[in-house]
Amino acid sequence: MAKRKRDTQQPENKPAEATVALLPQKKHYRQRAHANPFSDHSLDYPASPRDIDWAKHYPTYANTGKLPEFADVGCGFGGLLITLAPLFPDTLMLGMEIRVQVTQYVEDRIAALRVNAASEAASSSTEVSRAVHYQNISVVRANAMKFLPNYFAKHSLTSLFFLFPDPHFKSRKHKARIISPTLLAEYAYALRPGGIVYTITDVKDLHEWMRSHLEAFPLFSYVDEESLRAEGKGPIIDAVYTSTEEGKKVQRNKGEKWLACFRRIEVERQ
């Protein structure tokens, strides 16, 4: 059966003068909820962060020297990125997603939001409209379990998000969980001292797994939600709870969400 083409044209009854891009519809991009990170996915990835042309991802910031500071690992349909983009308009953010169709959805969604924001800003004189531009977010199709250091230089990130990751319930599958001692070394490498790792899940067993592994790692220190809110990170915490498709689903079903955040610390060498 032929694959249905995505509807990218404006409806005929749409006013010709409106420069509004239609947002993509998820029903045209559906894919399995999770992907096997150990499969031999066909991926293009940079040899090192120096080989990435970030101007293709953030054209407005070309030649500024700015690099991504927020990374959403397994970004899904991009809810966190799109929620945080107007809150931190000068902070570059990158979503990493392994699924082909989902990555394409986020890419198309960002492109449409940029067009709409530019149109709105052109017809408005308010500073708020000009600040909401979505030029500071992008997405790559990547397997973060294998190639995260290929995208982020040492101490380049200030925030790292793991929101509702695949729980891999079976014991023999625990090695595929996104939080593990080996991977924590890579996260600590990319995250600058003082940076925050945000984890949230609706699976208590996975929450305890992630928290125990982070607590056991010498370069991370637990920080409670109240302390982060007192530091002004309340909007980030709120987005972590509510912005993703999974988070909204848990909320609709009146389920529990388990949050655990950790600060990257420095340890003096003896």
Structure pTM? 0.85
pLDDT of residue 24: 75
pLDDT band with cut points at 50, 70 and 90 for residue 15: very low
List C-alpha distances in Å: 17 to 9, 20, 115, 251: 14, 9, 14, 40
pLDDT over 90, % of the chain: 69
pLDDT band with cut points at 50, 70 and 90 for residue 33: low
Is a pLDDT exceeding 70 seen at residue 217? yes
pLDDT of residue 44: 83
pLDDT band with cut points at 50, 70 and 90 for residue 5: very low
pLDDT band with cut points at 50, 70 and 90 for residue 31: low
pLDDT of residue 122: 80
Residue 192: exposure state from Cβ atoms within 10 A (0-12, 13-18, ≥19): middle
pLDDT over 70, % of the chain: 82
pLDDT of residue 127: 62
- What rounded mean pLDDT belongs to the chain? 87
Residue 3 gets which letter from DSSP? P
pLDDT digits (tens, 9 = 90+) for 52-100: 999 999 999 999 999 999 999 999 999 999 999 999 999 999 999 998 8
Q: Cα(117)–Cα(134) distance, rounded to whole angstroms?
A: 7
Please state whether beta strands 258-264 and 191-201 pair in parallel, antiparallel, or not at all (unpaired): antiparallel
Average pLDDT score over residue span 35-57: 80
pLDDT of residue 43: 77
Which helix (H) or strand (E) segment holds residue 190: the answer is helix 181-190
At 53, list the tokens: 């042309």
Catalytic residues: 166
Which stretches of 121-248 are assigned E, i.e. beta strand? 137-141, 157-163, 191-201, 220-223
pLDDT digits (tens, 9 = 90+) for 110-157: 999 999 998 888 876 666 555 679 999 999 999 999 999 999 999 999
Is a pLDDT exceeding 80 seen at residue 27? no
Q: Cα(125)–Cα(55) distance, rounded to whole angstroms?
A: 27
Is a pLDDT exceeding 50 seen at residue 209? yes
Is a pLDDT exceeding 50 seen at residue 219? yes
pLDDT digits (tens, 9 = 90+) for 230-247: 999 999 999 999 999 999
pLDDT band with cut points at 50, 70 and 90 for residue 102: very high
Q: If we measure between CA atoms, which residue out of 234, 244, 257 comes closest to residue 87?
A: 234
